[in-house]
Amino acid sequence: MTTETNPTTQPVKRFCDYADSELLKLTNEQLNDSIRIEAVMRGINPPITLPEALRRSEWRGYSKPAEAIKVFAMKAGYRSSEFGWLDEALAHKATEGMVVIEDCSYPTPHTKIKGGEVPEIVIKWVGVQKSVEKGAKFEEYMDEKMGEFNKLRDECLERFSSVRQAAYNREVALTKKAEYLRLANGDEQIARAFWAKVERGTWPE
């Protein structure tokens, strides 16, 4: 009994070691790996995807917090005041007996007391000094040879695309050949005559 070797289980080789027929059997992952191996064999750094934990490594150092003053401002609905109090008790006392006045334009311009909205006191932080950070940070991983790798990648993919296009063109030609033979009831001479009238290129063998 003969066991057929599955090409997807074979070790991946460098791209240039593959024959055209072998390239057509590669999965997308194998194609990518073969290009990376080709880069390594030529002394070019392949792109490396860093693990999430490594990319988000903890920043450590000295951090001086920003300084801010707590201000108690007034808010009614979606509107808040452009003034406030530094004393919370005084802010709440100022709202006693307060109502919300609304200007209306329909049907005629007039002013009314808007019910349902009770003024409230909200806290706003007014910054007086920015934060300062100084610490040990990692230098971000940078691949200085990405340009070289991209050039190699494009070179490999140009060949791969050419091989696939040639294989596709041949399959199309064979499909057309079969159709002309069918129309000619299997007579190859008649089928060739059909081909010569409408197709470009030679009769596929």
* Mean pLDDT of all residues belonging to the chain: 85
Residue 57 lies inside a defined structural domain of this protein:
no
135-172 pLDDT per residue, tens: 777 776 666 668 889 999 999 999 999 999 999 999 99
Scan for tokens 């005629």, then name that residue: 108
Q: List, in order, residues 6 or more apart from 190 with CB less than 8 Å away.
A: 184
Of the residues 102, 129, 156, which one is the last residue of a structural domain? 129
What token pair was written down for 65? 């917090």
| Structural contact between residues 62 and 133, judged by C-beta atoms closer than 8 angstroms | yes
What digits encode the pLDDT tens for the residues 4-42? 455 556 899 999 999 999 999 999 999 999 999 999 999
Asked if the structure places residue 169 within a domain, the reply is yes
Domain limits at 121?
67-129
> Which residue spans within 36-119 are E strands per DSSP?
60-64, 67-76, 79-85, 100-104, 110-114
Looking at residue 49, the DSSP 8-state letter turns out to be -
The residue from 80, 106, 129 where one domain ends is: 129
Question: What's the whole-model pTM score?
Answer: 0.55
| Share above pLDDT 90 across residues of the chain, in percent, rounded to a whole number | 40
Domain tally for the chain?
Answer: 2
> Do 192 and 163 share a structural domain?
yes
- Between CA 6 and CA 138 the distance in angstroms is 45
Q: Are residues 72 and 102 in the same domain?
A: yes
